[in-house]
Amino acid sequence: MSTTMTAPTSTNRTPANKPTTVVRVLHSEWVKARTLRSTWITTAATLLVIIGFGLIAARMQVSTHGTATGGPGNPPGISRNPLSTVLTGANLALLIVAVWGATVGAREYATGMIRTTMSAAPKRLPVLWGKLASFGTIVVPTLAIALAAAFFAGMRVLSGGDLPTMAWGDAGVARAVLGMGYYILGIGLIGLALGVLLRATAAAIGTVIGAVLFLPALASALLPTSWDTVLQYLPSNAGESFTTVTQGVGRLAPGAGALVFTAWVVVAIAGAAVALQRRDV
C-alpha cells in the first residue's frame, strides 16, 4: 500500500470494477441524459405544447362553434375534425422532438465528450444503443402522458361545448393517437441517428426538419402527379397514413405506412451504426 504526503487518498485504491457490458453502457448513457438540464426542459416543453395547445384549440373551437357562443348560422358541422383539434400541439411537438433527437445525437461531437465516451466504451455501438434507449425512455412516457391528456381533456372540452367528439374506442382513433406518438418518437430517433451520422447539431437539425419533414411537401408541389405514389413512401407521408383517422386518397394503408416509416427509422439508425463503427471518432 502506498502512502503519500500530497493526497489523503491513495491512488491505488481498488474500486470494485465490473465488466463493461451493454447494460452498463446503457446505464452510463442514462446518467448522462438525466444529468442534463436541457433534457428536462425539453420534456416539459413537449408536455406543455401537446397538452396546452390541444386544450387551447379545443376551447377556441367551442367559443367559435359551440353552444355557448355559436349562433344559428354556425352549425357544429363546420368545426374541425375533433381529433386534429385536440392534437393540434403534436405538430409543434414533432419539431421539438426532432431537434431534441438531433441534439442528443450530435451533442458529444460538439463538446468533445465523445472522445471520453468512446475511450470508456471502445466497442462504440453500445453507446448508440444507449443514446437511443435513454432518449426513448424519456420520450415514450412523455408522449404517452401528453397525448393521453390532450386527447381525453380536449374531448371533454369539446363535449362540454356540445361539439362532436371522438371516443377512444371509435374506429381508428386509438390507432391514430398511438400512431401520432409513434411518429413523433420515430422522427426523434431519425434525428438522433442523423446527429450521430453528421456529427454536427445544426446539420442534423437541418436535415431532419428539411429532408424528412419538408421535402415531401416540396417534392409533391414540384414533381408531376405521376410521382405521387412514390412520394407516399417518404417518411412524413407514410407517417400521415397512420396518424389520422380518415384515409387520404392515394395514401398508404395505416399498416403499410407504419411499416414504411419503421423502415426509415431502421435505415437511419443502421446508417449511424455503420458510420460509428467504420470511421474515426
Partner 1 sequence: MIEVINLTKRYGTVTAVDGISFTVQPGVVTGFLGPNGAGKSTTMRAILGLDRPTSGTTLVNGRPFRDAPAPLSELGAMLEAKSLDKGRSARNHLLAIGATIGVGARRVDEVLELVGLTEVGGKNAGGFSLGMGQRLGIASALLGDPGTIMLDEPVNGLDPDGILWIRTLLKRFAEEGRTVFVSSHLMSEMELTAEHLIVIGQGRILADMPMQSFIQRSSQHRVMVVSPDAPRLRDALSRPGVAVTSDAADRLEIEGITAREVGELAAVHGVTLHQLTDIAPSLEEAFMELTRDTVAFHGTVASHQGIAA
Residues in touch with partner 1 (CB under 8 A): 2, 4, 6-9, 11-20, 24-25, 27-32, 35-38, 107-108, 111-124, 278-281
Closest CB to partner 1 among residues 16, 221: 16
Closest CB to partner 1 among residues 27, 175: 27
Residue 17 CB, nearest approach to partner 1 (Å)? 4
Instruction: Name 54's Cβ contacts closer than 8 Å, sequence gap at least 6.
Output: 85, 86, 87, 88, 89, 149, 150, 151, 153, 154
Closest CB to partner 1 among residues 12, 226: 12
Residue 128 CB, nearest approach to partner 1 (Å)? 14
Q: Quote the cell numbers at residue 272.
A: 449511424
Residue 33 CB, nearest approach to partner 1 (Å)? 9
Distances in Å between the Cα of 133 and the Cα atoms of 10, 76, 88, 101 are: 37, 44, 27, 12
CB 134 within 8 A of CB 36: no
Q: Quote the cell numbers at residue 49.
A: 405544447
Closest CB to partner 1 among residues 130, 161: 130
Instruction: Name 49's Cβ contacts closer than 8 Å, sequence gap at least 6.
Output: 89, 92, 93, 96, 146
Closest CB to partner 1 among residues 13, 71: 13
Tell me which residue of 99, 87, 67, 95 sits closest to 194, measured CA to CA: 99
Residue 72 CB, nearest approach to partner 1 (Å)? 57
Tell me which residue of 118, 113, 110 sits closest to 204, measured CA to CA: 110
Residue 225 CB, nearest approach to partner 1 (Å)? 46
Closest CB to partner 1 among residues 81, 116: 116
Residue 193 CB, nearest approach to partner 1 (Å)? 20
Q: Quote the cell numbers at residue 40.
A: 428536462
Q: What are phi and psi of 237, to 5 degrees?
A: -70, -40
